[in-house]
Amino acid sequence: MTTTLETVMGTSGPGLELAAPRLTREQFLVLHRAMVRTRKLDERGMKLQRQGRIGFYVPSFGEEAAQIGSAAALDAADWISPSYRQPGTALWRGVKPVEMLDNCFGNAGDAAKGRQMPVHYTFRSRNFISIGSPIGTQIAHAAGVAMAMKIRGDGHVCLTYLGDGATSSNDFHTGLNFGGVFKAPCVFICINNQYAISLCVTGQTTSVSIADKAVAYGMPGRRVDGNDVLAVYSATKDAVDAARRGEGPTLLELFSFRMGPHSSSDDPSRYRPKAMEEEWAAKDPIQRFEKWLIANGHADAAALAAVHAAAEEEMSEAAKESETKPAPAKDSLFDDVFAERPAGLLKQRTALLAEGDAHAADMNAAFPL
Per-residue pLDDT of 38-51, as tens digits, reads: 999 999 999 999 99
**Do residues 304 and 349 both lie within one domain?**
no
- The residues annotated as belonging to the active site are 258, 262, 271
| Spatial CA neighbour of 69 closest among 99, 109, 32 | 32
How many C-beta atoms surround the C-beta of residue 282 within 10 A? 9
Give the CA diameter of the chain: 68
Q: Torsions phi, psi of 20, nearest 5? A: -65, 145
Instruction: With respect to residue 123, please indicate whether it lies within any of the assigned structural domains.
Output: yes
205-231: average pLDDT: 96
What does pLDDT average to over the chain? Answer: 94
Instruction: Give pLDDT, residue 363.
Output: 65
User: The domain containing residue 341 runs over which residues?
Assistant: 330-364
pLDDT band at 12, cuts 50/70/90? low
Residue 369 lies in a domain: no
DSSP 55-110: S-----TT-HHHHHHHHTTS-TTSEEE--TT-HHHHHHTT--HHHHHHHHHT-TT-
Average pLDDT for 329-344? 90
Q: Say if residue 35 is in the same domain as residue 60.
A: yes
For the segment 315-327, the average pLDDT, to the nearest whole number, is: 97
pLDDT reported for residue 49? 97
- Cα 133 to its chain centre, rounded Å, is 13
Check whether residue 258 and residue 188 sit in a common domain. yes
Query: Quick one: which of 55, 22, 48 has its CA closest to 265?
Result: 55
Indicate whether 70 belongs to any domain: yes
pLDDT for residue 367 is more than 90: no
CA atoms of 262 and 57, how far apart (whole Å): 9
pLDDT, residue 246, reads 97
Helix (H) or strand (E) holding 239: helix 229-244
334 shares a domain with 312 = no
Confidence of residue 1 (pLDDT cuts 50, 70, 90): low
Please tell me whether residues 303 and 355 are part of one structural domain.
no
φ, ψ of residue 191 in degrees (nearest 5):
-85, 100
> Quick one: 348 and 231 in the same domain?
no
The one-letter amino acid at 216: A
Count of structural domains, the chain: 2
Higher-confidence position of 368 and 270:
270
CATH code, domain carrying 270: 3.40.50.970
Least confident piece of the model among 48-62, 78-92, 353-367 = 353-367
State whether 131 and 172 are in the same domain.
yes
Residues 30 and 177 in one domain: yes
Same domain, 77 and 162: yes
Q: Residue range 298-324: average pLDDT? A: 98
Q: Is residue 229 part of a domain?
A: yes
Same domain, 281 and 341: no
242 and 276 belong to one structural domain: yes
User: Would you say residue 13 has pLDDT above 60?
Assistant: no
Q: What one-letter code names the amino acid at 266? A: D
pLDDT digits (tens, 9 = 90+) for 102-112: 999 999 999 99
R_g of the chain, CA atoms, integer Å: 21
Whether 128 and 265 share a structural domain: yes
Residue 98 maps to a domain: yes
| pLDDT recorded at residue 17 | 79
pLDDT band at 10 (very low <50, low <70, confident <90, very high): confident
Q: What is the pLDDT of residue 15?
A: 66
Residue 326 has pLDDT above 90, yes or no: yes
Residue type, 215: V
- pLDDT tens-digit profile of 56-87? 999 999 999 999 999 999 999 999 999 999 99
